[in-house]
A and B are shown apart, each in its own frame.
Chain A
Amino acid sequence: MTATFKIWRGDAKGGEFRDYTTEVAEGMVVLDAVHDIQRTQAPDLACRWNCKAGKCGSCSAEVNGIPKLMCMTRLSELPLERPVTVEPMKAFPILKDLVTEVSWNFRVKKQIKPFKPRPPDAPDGTWRMQQDDIDRVQEFRKCIECFLCQDVCHVLRDHQMHEKFIGPRFLIHVAALEMHPLDTEDRIEELRNTQGIGYCNITKCCTKVCPESIQITDNGIIPLKERVVDNFYDPLGWIWKGLKKLLTH
């Protein structure tokens, strides 16, 4: 049995879909088909990949228009009677074929304040944490940085607000730090100001595409939004701050 793949070929200057037909075997994933095409028909077809087991988050692309890891998308899940389209992520500039320029993500991460632990709990320099208290953080730390959530987020994808909004991946990164039982840093002010958490209007597209099934919106972004609100929009807090001001003058 064969299947046809419409693969986007081109670079920053432009490009087009090209059809490649290749043999399909049981159990194959989209990345296998791309590799077969690379090996036999288009040796210069650019794509990223590493682990081929959904653990490294390198082979992100859009398969039939849906952001996916190519290594975890079985051909048996796709209607093969018509061509399967494979194209690069849309939220980032194109380098070549299926490869996009994702360095923005690495720059954004660098701007987030790093982990700052409280002093160790025990004389031997170690800490104590209960499993219950770290379950949530461990969920966020499952993130494989495939950037599919960034790709699908309309704030980045459609509105290109990369300068004002860090995107779901890094909101989850901030959440993992903020909810880390040992962390003592405060990242709430920049969440509101430079990192643009307010731009997220909770459409949950990010959660839907997450290959690690992280509950990005419900468990990460919404609690962070609540912390921002508590910090900046708490009326009791305003009264208290006002009173303090009056008293000190």
Chain B
Amino acid sequence: MSNYETVEHDVLVIGAGGAGLRASIEASAAGVRVGLVCKSLLGKAHTVMAEGGIAAALANVDERDNWKVHFADTMRGGQYVNQWRMAELHAKEAPDRVRELEAWGAVFDRTKDGRILQRHFGGHKYPRLAHVGDRTGLEMIRTLQDHGVHQGIDVHMEHTILSLLKDGDRVVGAFGYERERGRFKIFHAKAVVLATGGIGRAYKITSNSWEYTGDGHALAYEAGAELIDMEFIQFHPTGMVWPPSVMGILVTEGVRGEGGILLNNDGKRFMFESIPGNYQAQTADNEEEGWRYCQGHKDARRPPELLTRDHVSRCIVREIKEGRGSPHGGVYLDISWIKQKMPNAAEHIKRKLPSMYHQFKQLADIDITEQPMEVGPTTHYIMGGVRVDPDTQMSRLPGLFAAGECAAGINGANRLGGNSLSDLLVFGKRGGEFAATFARDNPHGQINTDEIDTVAREALTPFESRGRGSENPYAIQRDLQETMQNLVGIVRTEAEMREALERIDELKGRAKQAAVTGNREYNPGWHTALDLKNLLTVSEAITRAALERKESRGAQFREDYPDKDERFGKVNTIVSKSADGSMQVHLEPLPDMPEYLKQVIEEHR
């Protein structure tokens, strides 16, 4: 065996966004030694991009709010295929997790009586999102980071994990490389928490950065864990569409929470035209009521722009397809109109949505206090991920935990805005806590050095593949993104997805020929080549799961099965690796929901 540097921790956390940081803090507080692997520098993970807020039933702004309403909203938003236990724990524990952030130094916007202010967001019945203007994610990650660095956590910045190490069924560490010198490293750990975020880079139009290549999903799958709900990808309704170079960058739902409206090129507020049955009772039926809701009038119902993201995205796609889109292939999102309703509207917009103001001014020459924005759907989030125990976050592999976006269950078929940041906190904490317990109860496992040598050899092939027939890793990535965007996007059909599977298979062949120039030191071409494997694995999992769910529900819209099918409302799709190495999908019945929760849902219909 080659000589690799080895570091030892009790708990290894892979990923340093909200979930990874929160898990590290909790595990460290439990008295075990924690290592935290970041793909980038500390504090740069995608959590930093979250804008709107953290959903938690604090009831600071509307005293009618409580965990039951939040639970019912989350289940309704997820079309009832969520893991009920996760949705319950999330709704109950989110308020404490938010208050804890304040105790660690977070400075949220305030109510008049000096408490944490909460704002309206899609699918949440009451104003529920604790926020800091439109930079809540930055506040959250910085708070966790600044608190975390004083907790004795060993941080490994700019490291990427290539595979999980196993001793029998148990996960006992990870193997990866550091970016600076390109050297391999063994992380020996008693428990591993995956907190690697999403898969957005599998799509062409995405709000996600280069890091989001489905690492945790693929690492877990390869090690033998199960993935669940992989067909459910959230296409956020409002990404930038112009200029081309910023296509996909997120425009916060907070714009609509503050009163922003969606218009087609006839100037029509098209969202009023199609309000789904299960939301009719909670949705405004005229524009004035919608505005009053955004202004905090408790007797008013939400404007249809604040329906769930899956629905709003589909309506936007419909407008564009039917020729009512904006010049650059989107629709209009207008917040400037509120000047008809309030004095100093421009100042108000700049104060409530400073980074949106900045983003459009600087990147698109648009003053959002004067002009409408052009927006369209962008790949934002995956509801699916590693199947975990709802209480402990442990996968079916002993010692392997997952939390945050790379774990699944709480969101079902569609995630409500704001439920992601709270998910990171609630289940990051739980994952860290139970990983620490596991680490205390178990000694270090054995590491199989032959396996490591194989992974290392494979990782170095792009340096040997130079020459005839070799492939540019960037081109392979781009072709995969085109494939997923065009064939497994917002509107899906069996024929297109079968074609996608064929293309993914071809791309797997090409990925083996990926070649890079230069040496191992900080070489992005090499990193791109290495990320391809995970991207291809998650793309296949998404496609296979989407084929299996022959219905339209939440984020999955099948043109060939345009309606909901009750039979599929009772099951989750499960993806796993079979003994022969091929990918298998099967359906499993949802866990039985206890009576008291059924009642909660009934009460809040």
Residues of A within 8 A of B (CB): 11, 25-29, 32, 38-40, 43-58, 72, 74, 95-97, 99, 102-103, 106, 109-110, 114-115, 117, 120, 125-131, 134, 137-138, 141-142, 144-145, 177, 180, 183
Contacts and interface: CB of A to CB of B under 8 A. Distances in A.
A38 B135 contact: no
Among B41, B115, B209, B478, the one with the most A-chain Cβ atoms within 10 Å of its Cβ is B41
A44 B524 contact: yes
A127 to B, nearest CB: 7
Interface string B387-413: 000000000000000000000000000
Interface stretch (B245-253, B441-449, B490-498): B245-253
Interface in B130-151: 132-133, 135, 137-139, 142, 146-147, 149-150
State the majority secondary structure of interface residues on A: loop
B246 A52 contact: yes
Given A56-B48, A117-B103, A49 B209 contact: yes
Interface string B444-472: 00000000000000000000000000001
B105 interface: yes
B49 A130 contact: no
B512 to A, nearest CB: 17
A46 B523 contact: yes
10 contacts: A29-B245, A39-B478, A43-B474, A44-B516, A48-B40, A50-B46, A51-B209, A55-B135, A126-B116, A129-B110
B362 interface: yes
A50 B243 contact: no
Question: What 6 A-B pairs have minimum CB-CB distances, sorted nearest first?
Answer: A27-B243, A44-B518, A43-B525, A128-B114, A115-B105, A50-B209
Given A72-B362, A145-B43, A28 B245 contact: yes
Given A48-B41, A99-B522, A103-B157, 10 more contacts: A27-B244, A27-B245, A44-B525, A48-B40, A72-B363, A96-B521, A96-B522, A102-B41, A110-B149, A142-B138
Contact of B358 (A43, A51, A54): A54
Interface in B195-215: 209-211
B4 interface: no
Given A43-B517, A55-B138, A74-B362, A38 B474 contact: yes
Contact of B99 (A38, A106, A126, A144): A126
Given A109-B149, A128-B113, A44 B517 contact: yes
B290 interface: no
Contact of B243 (A26, A45, A48, A120): A26
Contacts of B521: 11, 46, 95-96
B76 to A, nearest CB: 29
Contact of B516 (A40, A43, A46, A127): A43
Interface string B64-103: 0000000000000000000000000000000000010011
B146 to A, nearest CB: 7
A30 to B, nearest CB: 10
B355 interface: yes
B107 interface: yes
A49 B242 CA distance: 20
Nearest to A130: B114
A197 B259 CA distance: 44
Given A38-B524, A74-B362, A103-B157, A128 B146 contact: no
Interface in B507-544: 516-519, 521-526, 528
Contacts of A109: 146, 149
A27 B522 contact: no
Contacts of B472: 39, 43
B246 A27 contact: yes
B243 A46 contact: no
A162 B166 CA distance: 43
Contacts of A180: 105, 107
Given A44-B524, A114-B150, A39 B209 contact: no
Interface string B143-179: 0001101100001010000000000000000000000
Contacts of A126: 99, 102, 115-116
A40 to B, nearest CB: 8
Nearest to A38: B524
Contacts of B282: none
B210 A131 contact: no
B42 interface: yes
A43 B473 contact: yes
A54 B521 CA distance: 26
Contacts of A117: 103, 105
A47 B524 contact: yes
B137 to A, nearest CB: 8
A115 B524 CA distance: 37
A137 B106 CA distance: 10
Contacts of A52: 209, 246, 249
A110 to B, nearest CB: 5
B41 to A, nearest CB: 7
Contacts of B29: none
A181 B358 CA distance: 28
Nearest to B141: A56
B503 interface: no
B44 A44 contact: no
Contacts of B116: 126
A154 to B, nearest CB: 24
Among B45, B46, B243, the one with the most A-chain Cβ atoms within 10 Å of its Cβ is B243
B362 A56 contact: no
B141 to A, nearest CB: 9
A106 B590 CA distance: 45
Given A28-B243, A54-B362, A114 B146 contact: yes
Contacts of B437: none
B110 A134 contact: yes
A46 B359 contact: no
A115 B150 CA distance: 10
Contact of A95 (B139, B180, B249, B528): B180
A154 B133 CA distance: 33
Nearest to B519: A44
Nearest to B529: A43
B109 interface: yes
A109 B142 CA distance: 12
A147 B42 CA distance: 13
B347 to A, nearest CB: 14
Given A72-B362, A103-B157, A141-B142, A55 B49 contact: yes
B364 interface: yes
A141 B107 contact: yes
Contact of A46 (B142, B358, B524): B524
A61 to B, nearest CB: 14
A178 to B, nearest CB: 12
A23 to B, nearest CB: 12
A41 to B, nearest CB: 10
Interface in B44-58: 44-46, 48-49
A131 B137 CA distance: 19
Given A43-B474, A44-B525, A58-B41, A127 B48 contact: no
A54 B42 CA distance: 16
A180 B114 CA distance: 14
A205 to B, nearest CB: 21
A141 B115 CA distance: 19
B249 A26 contact: no
B497 to A, nearest CB: 28
Contacts of A53: 49, 246, 249-250, 359, 363
